Chain A
């Protein structure tokens, strides 16, 4: 594939899966500027690794793996990072009013995700996005049994954390 072809394919695939960029940055960063900073960092690393994407897995799985790796590293260095103020023209992801567009359940889910450590955050995002245990295990580098155990634990924890939320 020539370089312009590669660029075109990359842009097309990223456009198709832009939701992953949004969801990962939303799960790992609280404020809007950091989220956009992270989305740009993810995009940059995706492009850097793109020529090694061989199609042996789905693009979305591969994209998740890169995005989550960048997000965890970014999240850890966020306290010492120089924060950028991003103007609207510099934003990678332009969104409609999020508070309006997010259903209540999704907001609660994000609240739950916020409570988790970086690796469990990655696990739950992959699970919610319909990835199989095998795909999750490959992305995280753990066994399928371990994935199943951890998901069960997350389910129990969620029940505990949000028991009574619906009634309230």
Chain B
């Protein structure tokens, strides 16, 4: 089979396609009217929500840090939470801004590189958020919440031993989560979202994004062979 000979067949088939396919007029109109607005609304909503969390979270935590500035054992866990929240908001906004900048009418290799870079960023954010989040959102949150809401000193009740054991356990979970994702990711990750998370934690998503970036670079590379 010769590609050039098939070009002719393809052209004839193309002409026939005109009569054998029909565009759904209603859907064509709906695209113009409705669908374009929804992603923009979703983006604005996401941005608004992010900004709200980004303002309220650090404001509450900032006040807590200020009130307990002389007690590092209380101020430091609040600062850890504060940094986590701010970093997440900044990362999310950056991600959304990058996504909005994707302009599909630019050359394929440029856009695909942009998309893969965004994917790398997203995978890193998820990895970082899950692995550090399960430490920050347990013991530091417990210390801050007990003090802030009920004026209970977590270092007395439930006690330093409890805090230390749980903190150590939380830290140990980080390499354990990566190991579990690599070892059992295929079995427990059949649900698409769980699978994506498992692949992200295991580092596979980063690897495949890197592979795709390499494939694009290879495609762009000029070779002398003909």
In the complex, the number of residue pairs spanning A and B with C-beta atoms less than 8 Å apart equals 172
Which of A7, A91, A153 touches B32 (beta carbons < 8 Å)?
A: A7
User: Closest residue of chain A to B26, judged by CB?
Assistant: A89
- A52 at interface by CB-CB < 8 Å: yes
- Proximity bits, B55-66, A CB within 8 Å = 1, else 0: 000000000000
Cα A130 to Cα B32 with chains together (Å): 30
B223 to chain A, nearest CB (A): 6
A116 to chain B, nearest CB (A): 11
User: Closest residue of chain A to B113, judged by CB?
Assistant: A141
- B69 at interface by CB-CB < 8 Å: no
Task: Report the count of interface residues on A (CB-CB < 8 A).
Answer: 77
- Proximity bits, B10-24, A CB within 8 Å = 1, else 0: 111110111011111
- A15 at interface by CB-CB < 8 Å: yes
A67 to chain B, nearest CB (A): 9
Cα A77 to Cα B1 with chains together (Å): 32
Check if A14 sits within 8 Å of B109, measured CB to CB.
Answer: no
Check if A65 sits within 8 Å of B108, measured CB to CB.
Answer: yes
Most buried by A among B10, B18, B36, B108: B108
Binds A, one of B123-131, B159-167, B214-222: B214-222
B71-119: which have CB < 8 Å to A?
103-112, 115
Tell me the B residues contacting A by CB distance below 8 Å: 1-4, 6-7, 9-14, 16-18, 20-24, 27-29, 31-32, 35-36, 103-112, 115, 192-193, 195-196, 212, 215-216, 219-226
Tell me the A residues contacting B by CB distance below 8 Å: 7, 10-11, 14-15, 18-19, 21-23, 40, 43-45, 47-49, 52-53, 62, 65-66, 68-70, 72-73, 76, 79-82, 89-96, 101-103, 105-106, 108-109, 112, 117, 119-120, 122, 124, 127-130, 138-143, 145-146, 148-149, 151-155, 158-159, 162, 165-166
A-B contact pairs, 19 of them (CB 8 A): A15-B23, A18-B23, A19-B14, A44-B31, A53-B105, A76-B212, A80-B195, A91-B27, A94-B23, A96-B21, A106-B9, A117-B215, A119-B216, A130-B7, A141-B109, A142-B109, A145-B222, A149-B225, A162-B1
Given contact pairs A80-B196, A155-B3, A158-B1, enumerate 7 new A-B contacts (beta carbons under 8 Å).
A23-B17, A80-B195, A106-B9, A140-B219, A142-B219, A143-B222, A149-B226
